[in-house]
Structures are given as C-alpha cells and as structure tokens.
Amino acid sequence: MTTKNVYPTVHEDPRDGRGCDVGYYYCKNCVEFGDIIKVEEDNYPHPPENNSIRRVPCVVCAMANGGAWGWKEGHKGEKEHLLKSNGQVPGNSGIEDILSGHSHEPWSNWDVSDEEVVLGFVQYGLYNHYTWEEIIDVGEGPSRNRPSLPPNRYLNQSSERYKDNWYWWKVIPYSVVLPKRLIKVMKEMLKDYTEGSEIPEDRQNLEGSEHEDGTWEHFFETYIEPTHVVHLFIKTLEIVLQRNIGEFDGYNTITNFHKHKKIPRAISQLLYSDESLEWLACSNSQMDNEITSSGESEGRVHYLVKGTGDIFEEGYDHTVLNILDRDIFGTCLMNVIGYDWKQFRSFNRDGIILDTLERPPSPDDLNILWRKDNYRELYEDVHKKITFQITEGVFTSYQEQHLDDYDCEESFRLLINTFREEYENEDESDDESDDEEEKKSIDTKEIITKLQEFEEIIDEDVKEKVSENVYKVMLEKLHEVYKIVK
C-alpha cells in the first residue's frame, strides 16, 4: 500500500506547516532548483501562487529543517512524522562538472545522495577554514526536533553572497549544519581515512581540549583539512559512478569504471587516446613536482572509465576522468591553505582568515593558522592521494576580483573548451587517413582488446606455472605483436 505524503506550500512554514505569510518562508532557490507542484498552471511563468506545493526544497532548506521535509499523510506539522529529504542542490558540483566534461552548461539527472550533501558541507567548511563542529549539529536528540529556517537574506537572496554562485555549497549559510543522520554517514565515510583506526588521526596541535585524543569529539574540534575533502570526494565520486552505471543521460553514458594507482601498462594504453594519456602523465608530473618529502606517492589514484559521450575522444570508448583542483576544492589548492593572502575577495567568504600583514605569509603564520609544525604537509598529503590538474593561474587575481563565482567558473569552462576545440581541429587537419586505414583501425581496436585479455591470462594463470625466463619471453613476443598491430 502506497502512503501519500503532505508537503508545505511555497509560502507555508516548513517546520510545522502553519502560517502563510507571503514572502517570509518563500525561498527563491527552492523555486528555481527544487520541485514545485504548480496548482495553477495558467500563471506560468509567474511566481507560484500560495497553494503551489514545495515538494522538494533546496538542500539548504532541507538541512535547516533537520534533514527532513514534509510529513506522512494525516500528520502535517508533526515532527515525529517528518520525512527524510536531501533536497536539490542550488547550483553545480565538482562531480557533476567532471561527468559532463566541464561543460559551461553541466547538468545531472540523479537524486542528490547523502554522500554528496556531506561532501558539499565539508568542502564549504574547508573553504571557510572551519572546524568540523562548526558544520555539524551538536545539539541533543534528533535534528528534526529542532528545525529552523535559513536566514532571510538567503531565502530572498537579498545578499550578494547568496546568489550568482557556481558551486552549490558556496551559498550554505553559517547557521545551517549537517543533521544527525548525515553525521552518521560522514563518520562511515571517514572510518578508513586512517589505517587501523575508525576515527581519523588528529595531526593538529590542539591544546586545551576537554575531550580525549582519539575520540570523535576531539577530532571534531580540529580544522577540516584539504586531504579530508579529497578522501570524501573520492568516496562520493565512486558512489555516484556505481549508482548510475549505464544510466547517465545527456552528455555521457559510463558503462564501467576502475580506480587505478598506476599508469596503464603499454598494452592497455592502446585503448586510450594520446590526449587522455598526456593529461594523466602531465597531471601526475605536476603532483610529483609538488612533493618535496621522501614519501611515496604510489597510493595516488585516478579513474579509467568506459562508455560513450562528450568526455570520450572520437574513436575511443575508454578515457581518463579529467579531475581539476576546482572540482575538489571549488578553487585552487593554495586558496584553501593560504587563503586570501593575495588580497582578492573570494566569493562568500567571511573576513580575512589569515591574520597577518605579511604577503606572502610566512611559514610560521601558516603553521599557527593550521596548528601544524609544518603546514607543507597539507599540500603533500593531497598530492599523494589523487591525480588532478592544477588550474591555478588560469585567471589573474584582477579577473577573479571582478567576476562573481558563476561568471568566473563559466568563463573558465568556455576557455578550456575553446582550447580543446582548437586542438581537435588541428588534429583533424593533420589526419589524412583514407577509408582503408580507418577500417584497419577498427579491426586493430578489436585485436588490441583480445591481446589485452591474453596478457591478463598470462599474468593470472600462467606466470606461476612457468620459469621467469619463459614468462619474460612470452611477454616480449606479445609486445612485438602489439607493435605490429599499432
């Protein structure tokens, strides 16, 4: 038996379903990004009337309401019968950008997951240099028992800081936090951050805490670090990919994906375009150049995907997911470690985080800011964990200062897509292959796939049964065939 649910109208108080004060509870982001059931269709495209239903709100309104929205039928206004809801994101996300090939018009057709909401709040926390406890509900009892409203300046967008954003999480108001049910999700996502411990290791010099080291309460008093965001980003990306395999509409359809920690072997490389492999090699080189310690970077991951769409080069159904620094952090990595020392205003960021007049800040300033003995480990921890392209410097400080978040990110995507089109046009002009060569490439692709499967059989089933010399000869002969085919 299907149970019907009840939702507030666009002008009702979502906490208890009472009141109909026009303009007080109305949220522009809910109307633009959520799901509004318009009872009076003939009024379109004018704003919804009083009796139009706000079935799915924006994420911010849903989280302010305790991570819930609407009630079971017959229980309107009763907190005990509130329905879990994540809402819809009021803007774009880095994962959406990646899976749409960094289009200036990205879109997604999947429901917002718990993990995506958690990631967004943690990205927002890092962007503003908050501690964990500043982004979570630390009150007693279920969050739905203490529903609230976002500030009025968010609801009606009377403040510039709550509109013209690209990344949805950049407009989260300080008063809105993750509810208890999503804190549980966040803990689950973090439990393998530190090997051998379900609670992430605290590497900050936290003094005067009332809580014991190695507890969640103690960890939540620390600042959110870039590598925490990377860890949650990896988890969330994999969950989105897994839940939507073969079901992405629009730009791309991904039928399979693999997380790798090494460059594809010579045989596998033939499945990928030169552009994909070049991106991977250049990005890894950028990461390596930023690592000054003796630590290994073999744990750094990248993603190989199979499918069709705009993110795949012509003639190839395999590619490397292009991940940019701004997909993860909403800006360059430096701007979430050293923050605004270049003295240009970051979109919707409170005041001056780094309290020093020295430009650039000294290592001591940054060590104090992060409660670290060596703040450089913040960079190295990230560069050892995931492969991404560094885009710092694409826009100058002057340009960023005079663009809002949306215009800045849209301009960036138009710029990189122009570069791609020019590169593809040059490549097409140099390619004078005839129909016979094209047919050969199609046949070659199938041969390469079979040879790759054969190599896997040798590695998995044959290697242990023959001498090392025989194994090497087999691989050498196999590679000779690849060279001939290629």
Residue 42's pLDDT is 46
Q: What is the CA radius of gyration of the chain?
A: 25
Question: Which pairs from 350-358 meet CB under 8 Å and 24+ separation?
Answer: 350/128, 350/174, 353/128, 353/129
Q: Positive or negative CA dihedral for 423, 425, 429, 433?
A: positive
Question: Angle between the 180-190 and 226-243 helix axes, to the nearest 10 degrees?
Answer: 100
DSSP code per residue over 291-343? --SS---TT-BEEEEEEEETTSPTT-SEEE---BHHHHHSS-GGGGTT-STT-
Q: pTM to 2 decimals?
A: 0.84
- Rounded distance, CA 423 to CA 213, Å? 53
Residue 310's pLDDT is 81
Tens of pLDDT, residue by residue over 141-175, are 899 889 999 999 999 998 888 989 999 999 999 99
3-state secondary structure 78-135: CHHHEEECCCECCCECHHHHHHCCCCCCCCCCCCCCHHHHHHHHHHHHHHCCCEHHHC
Tens of pLDDT, residue by residue over 412-423, are 888 877 766 665
Residue 261's pLDDT is 82
Residue 424's pLDDT is 58
Bridge partners of residue 308, in order along the sequence: 253
Q: Say which residue the tokens 């199609």 belong to.
A: 442
Which amino acid is it at 88?
Answer: Q
> H or E element: which one contains 5?
strand 5-6
- Rounded distance, CA 111 to CA 88, Å? 8
Bridge partners of residue 58, in order along the sequence: 88
Residue 49's pLDDT is 61
Tens of pLDDT, residue by residue over 104-136, are 888 777 889 999 999 999 999 999 999 999 999
Domain ranges across the chain: 5-227, 437-485
**Close Cβ partners of 278 (under 8 Å, ≥ 6 residues apart):** none
List for the chain the helix, strand, coil content (%; round to 5).
Answer: 45, 10, 45
Low-confidence ranges of the chain (pLDDT < 70): 1-3, 20-23, 39-50, 247-251, 264-269, 293-298, 340-345, 351, 356-357, 393-403, 419-446, 450, 458-486
- Rounded distance, CA 187 to CA 192, Å? 9
